[in-house]
Amino acid sequence: MPISALVLEDELSCSICLSLYRNPVSLCCGHSFCKQCVQKALGVQQQAKASYSCPLCRVELGPILELQNNFHLSSVSLAAWLLDSGENYWLLLGQKYFCWRWRP
Ligand SMILES: [Zn+2]
Ligand SMILES: [Zn+2]
């Protein structure tokens, strides 16, 4: 079976908790995080400053936090996970398989 492998790890992992997105949301700068992670990170900011900034690129987000559900990442997270005989995880996404280097 021909498999096109591509490491999607960066695209699929939250830069705060470093694991797969759970309830991924996007900030207006385009960065995505788990909802819980970004709320935690920005909750800490709120105590110190008047406006939020992205935990990753520090772009000012303004005093009101708008979290948009990231439907692309949500659907990726809902795609099928397969475990092969070599204990590698493969993500089945549409017609393509992506290798995932699993971190426990
Ligand atoms: Zn996270
Ligand atoms: Zn950002």
Domain boundaries of the chain, sorted by first residue:
9-100
**Which three-class secondary structure state does DSSP give residue 76?**
helix
In the reported structure, the alpha carbon of residue 95 is separated from the centroid of ligand 2 by a whole-number distance in angstroms of 31
* 2: pLDDT strictly greater than 60: no
pLDDT for residue 14: 87
pLDDT for residue 29: 86
In the reported structure, the alpha carbon of residue 13 is separated from the centroid of ligand 2 by a whole-number distance in angstroms of 15
Angle at 67 between CA 77 and CA 93, to 5 degrees: 15
Residues with a beta carbon under 5 angstroms from ion ligand 2 = 29, 31, 54, 56-57
The mean per-residue pLDDT over the stretch 14-40 comes to 87
Q: Which fold has domain 9-100?
A: Herpes Virus-1 (3.30.40)
Instruction: Let me know: does 26 contact 32? Beta carbons within 8 Å.
Output: yes
- Which residue carries 């709320």 as its tokens? 39
The mean per-residue pLDDT over the stretch 20-33 comes to 84
